[in-house]
Amino acid sequence: MSKKLGVAIVGSTGYGGVELIRLLASHPQAEVTSVISSSSAGTPITEGYPHLTGIREELLDDVDAATIKSKADVVFLATPPGVASKLAPELLAAGLKVIDLSGDFRLKSPALYEQWYKKPAADEEHLGKAVFGLSEIYAENVRGADFISNPGCYPTATTLGLFPAVKAGFIDPATIIIDAKSGVSGAGRGASLGTHYSELNENLRAYKVNQHQHIPEIEMILSDAAGAEVVTTFTTHLVPMTRGIMSTMYASVRGDRSLNDFLELYRSFYEGRPFVRIRPEGQWPATKEVWGSNYCDIGFALDSRTNRITIVSVIDNLVKGAAGQAVQNLNLMMGWDETLGLQFVPAYP
């Protein structure tokens, strides 16, 4: 067997990092050669994650570009906001390919980043270089790129559900309303009252209404689809479950379209893209139906009384919404089949 591509993961002790380890464990062409955590360097990864006992027993590495380069060709950055903006330039300069899972390089305008993220933005040069890796929409840009900015979880579920209809002019972008719901793992592993079991179990809460930092990212993608600036209403809710995002989306239909017109549009748009599954009329995707997998499932209802379309899109936030799409982008970057290492059947029930 030929040698596999070496891959390093910075931020291996977060949920995004540990999910990359899970997915890449069965990748036929790539292997994780360095697991890195600046905060826990020198300790075994099994200390924080005993589920890796017997699977990965090595000590966590510290972040150092030269050392990484000696072990790997590609680096995944699964770091908190504000870290990758400093780290990526250095890693790129060392000759590494970089896939950043954080939000640091998604927005092209530093001002917009600073407005929504309340942190200093990355430099404009690198913002310009980062290719936005929404795999099903921008695969052409990703192929052969060296530096990928991986999309956010909410934007992935939402824009995969809206892009074809906006692009084709089937719906009026000014009427789009997005009601999004997420499992708790999207908040990461950091302990806080907001992620405390007794506060979230048997509870449903709205949060960051109109203020979520994924709003400008969603609008960036939808504006690209529309060929004009799109402004949306976007609400997020925390659901008592660990994994899963559902975006329920509403828009007014332009002209006289049937539900079948929508189904055909989407099937045609996503033809040959195995991770998007269009559900037949009357069938609504549930988050568990994509749990642990890289799928994005989309269902539709057209209400003749209001001429509005309702679109429901679901993903596993840690897979298609983070680590899975990052691996998909790795595959595209390397010119491989985009499904390599990602052919997990959803774990049901």
For residue 60, the minimal CB distance to its own copies (Å) is 17
Q: What is the DSSP string of 256-310?
A: S--HHHHHHHHHHHTTT-TTEEEPPTT----GGGGTTS--EEEEEEEETTTTEEE
Residue from 52, 72, 153, 218 carrying the catalytic annotation: 153
Q: Under rule CB under 8 A, which residues in 226-285 are in contact with its own copies?
A: 231-233, 235, 237, 239-244, 246, 248, 250, 274, 277, 279, 283-285
Alpha-carbon distance of 153 to 143, in angstroms, equals 21
**Distance (Å, rounded) from C-alpha 114 to C-alpha 103?**
11
Q: Is 210 in the site for its own copies (CB under 8 A)?
A: yes
- According to CB under 8 A, which residues from 284 to 303 bind its own copies? 284-292, 295, 297, 299, 301, 303
Taking the complex as a whole, how short is the minimal distance between the CB of residue 66 and its own copies, in angstroms? 29
> Given the complex with its own copies, which of 206 and 228 has the nearer CB atom?
206
The footprint of its own copies on residues 327-346 (CB under 8 A) is 343-346
Q: 178 has which bridge partners?
A: 234, 249
For residue 196, state whether it binds its own copies (rule: CB under 8 A): yes
Residue 15 lies near its own copies (rule: CB under 8 A): yes
Rule CB under 8 A: say whether 71 interacts with its own copies.
no
* Cβ proximity to its own copies, 167 vs 277, nearer residue: 277
Q: Among residues 75 and 323, whose Cβ is nearest to its own copies? A: 323
Positive or negative: CA dihedral 253, 259, 264, 270: positive
For the question of residue 296 being annotated catalytic, the response is no
CA proximity to 331, closest of 89, 150, 105: 150
Catalytic residue numbers, as ranges = 153
